[in-house]
Structure 1
Amino acid sequence: MRKRSRYKLLEYFAIAGLITFVVILVFNSTIRPSLPKKTPAPKELYNVISPSTYKFILNQPELCENISPFLVLVIPVTLKDTEARTAIRRTWGQDGLIPRVTILHLFVIGQPAQRDPVLQEHLEKESKEYGDIIQMDFVDSYHNLTIKTMMIMNWIATYCQGAWYAMKIDADIFLNVRYLVDYLHDQSKSSRKDYITGSVISDAVPHRDSFNKWYISEGLYPDSWYPPYVSGAAYVFSTDLARKISWASRFVRPIPLEDVYVGLCLHVLGVKPVYATKFLGFRNLFEVRRLKYERCTFAKRIIVNGFNPQNLLRIWHDFQKSYFTC
């Protein structure tokens, strides 16, 4: 009798799970914004994000000439972020971190609204020493992050299309390179095309409060929902998408939210971002929350958010030394 009750309970759970799955499918299909018409954006708006509008101050066009990297890490920073660049070179951006896996890193920089000749001279020396800096003549600001992101896409499409994957990653992120490489190796061959993964946001709505940091006016974006997009803190994509996103930007009006903007370009392409999770979705591998450092917790994540250069350097040695004990 007890066994029959147990089977009955399992049956109820199965039915409830099926109903929940169907409800989610129906809900997602009803709230999803309609596919945009492929109408070219007005020329004056497209010029804001067009690669032809901006010029290189510093470039590394030969970086991928004779190699096909497994992964290219592209880090948007500003001219003054010298400490962050140094910390990344000494931690997750260091060369030869994973044996027999070619990983490159690049820092992408604009220029300050007011010129700083001393910092600019230092940057040029840094570029000669490390060969890992791209600088263009757009103004570096929060509202120009969409421009910077599209310049990243264009650089990959132009100079490093032979790479397998690229990763856009902010400078204040802890990156578990070993876990990321293993994770990408475990993906099917389909991840080499139209693939983008990270912390997927699928239920975001535009903020209409003008005092909100992420404010978007109805005139700039009239829809009530955003299509799914990946958090701009860090995401990985197959390099074929760099060219396709650059193409799709011709049909998407620029907005100052760079991660949402990439999501809008993906929507034009009909590409859905993939959530990177483990254990039935309970562990988010792209951890955009700030977590207190705990070696074995970090060993089971691809990224963790919120590290200044000093903290990154402080924990890196411990993390590397004891990684395989978790």
Structure 2
Amino acid sequence: MAKLSPRRVLTYLAVAGLSTVLAILVLNNIYLPYHKNWTPISKELYDVISPSSYRYILNQPDLCEKKRPYLVLMIPVTLRETEARTAIRKTWGHESLTSGVTILSFFVLGQPVQNNPTLQLQLERESKEYWDIIQMDFVDTYQNLTIKTIMIMNWIAKYCQRAQYAMKIDADTFLNVPYLVNYLHAKGESSRENYITGSVIRDGHPKRNSLSKWFLSEDIYPDTSYPTYVSGAAYVFSTDLALKIYLASRFVQPVPLEDVYVGLCLRVLGVKPVYSTRFLRLRNLFEVRKLKYDRCTFDSRITVNGFKPQYLLKIWYDFQKARFTC
């Protein structure tokens, strides 16, 4: 690695210091109505999750500006999930599902642990054909989903702030787009700022068993409970929150559970997630369980979890009949 000159080192430190000061001023004076004295995490920790530590390999910086979407769908995938991307483009990620509003879908990914030139070339061809790929050069693993999530927030804040809403949604999730659009329209002004909704979790606790997929050691997270957060399978938020969450990340120690991490950022901001329910809170509209497919049951949900690409394609034609029969 080339050695930096003293002058460049001083310049780098000055820029890093200025960005921290800016984040503190913005959060304290604008985004923290219930002020708390949050302390920035160390530069070494922040560099792990900061999008400025990575570079774009593929990007779509102008698409939101040209199309000005009402809703932008951000879908985390890996390089190998070609089938999932294809199925989503043919089903709930298709732009023609709603009239009167523009919805854009983007697939967000990093690089695999082991370089795969063949798949990378295929991805680049996909990008040229569909214009829906955003890729950065961090290592794309389950443990790095927090990096991917902050990348999503930064991308929306930088390139898609004119959209009214954004949604982070996993590739194995079914999405009822018309229902979601109608739901957001019904919310009106109450959901235009500091708004985030999904399957809300209020009683989460860290798993201390090292064999658990969701294991968190006390060294990384000493608290015995999590703040309120939304399940990472799917959540919707007003786009103003993207920049705020990105700035709040300067004050939150990274944890490998991205949905918990977003909840920790929301705690810094003083923002509380909102339940999405109907019928006096008896039905969660963001279903985190895997339900057996039923046309009218799915028509009464925004999302349902646990879909393989082939099954999503299989039920999609039948689901289009729901608007006439349910």
What TM-score results when the alignment is normalised by the length of structure 1?
0.88
1:125 maps to a residue whose letter is R
Where does residue 118 of structure 2 map in the other structure?
118
Output the CA distance in 2 between the equivalents of 1:80 and 1:323. 34
Unaligned runs of 5+ in 1: 1-34
Output the CA distance in 1 between the equivalents of 2:36 and 2:47. 20
Give the fraction of aligned pairs with identical amino acids, expressed as a percent: 71
> Contact conserved, 1:296 with 1:323, CA < 8 A, in 2?
no
Deviation at 1:36, TM superposition (A): 6.8
Where does residue 94 of structure 1 map in the other structure?
94
Rg bigger for which structure? 1
Where does residue 66 of structure 1 map in the other structure?
66
Where does residue 249 of structure 2 map in the other structure?
249
Deviation at 1:224, TM superposition (A): 1.2
Deviation at 1:67, TM superposition (A): 3.4
Where does residue 317 of structure 2 map in the other structure?
317
> Contact conserved, 1:68 with 1:164, CA < 8 A, in 2?
no
Partner deviation per Cα, 1:222-248 (whole Å, 9 max, x = no partner): 111100000000000000000000000
Q: Does 1:289 align with 2:321?
A: no
Output the CA distance in 2 between the equivalents of 1:324 and 1:237. 30
1:275 maps to a residue whose letter is Y
Where does residue 211 of structure 1 map in the other structure?
211
Deviation at 1:37, TM superposition (A): 4.0
1:47 maps to a residue whose letter is D
Partner deviation per Cα, 1:259-311 (whole Å, 9 max, x = no partner): 00000000000000001000110000000000000000000000000000000
Unaligned runs of 5+ in 2: 1-34
Output the CA distance in 2 between the equivalents of 1:70 and 1:188. 13
Output the CA distance in 1 between the equivalents of 2:309 and 2:225. 36
Deviation at 1:212, TM superposition (A): 1.3
Where does residue 15 of structure 1 map in the other structure?
none
Give the paired residue count.
293
Runs of 4 or more off by more than 2 Å in structure 1?
321-324
Q: Does 1:185 align with 2:185?
A: yes
> Contact conserved, 2:299 with 2:322, CA < 8 A, in 1?
no
Output the CA distance in 2 between the equivalents of 1:119 and 1:321. 36
> Contact conserved, 2:206 with 2:215, CA < 8 A, in 1?
yes
Output the CA distance in 2 between the equivalents of 1:266 and 1:45. 19
Where does residue 144 of structure 2 map in the other structure?
144
* Greater shift in the superposed pair: 217-226 or 133-142: 217-226
Output the CA distance in 2 between the equivalents of 1:318 and 1:306. 18
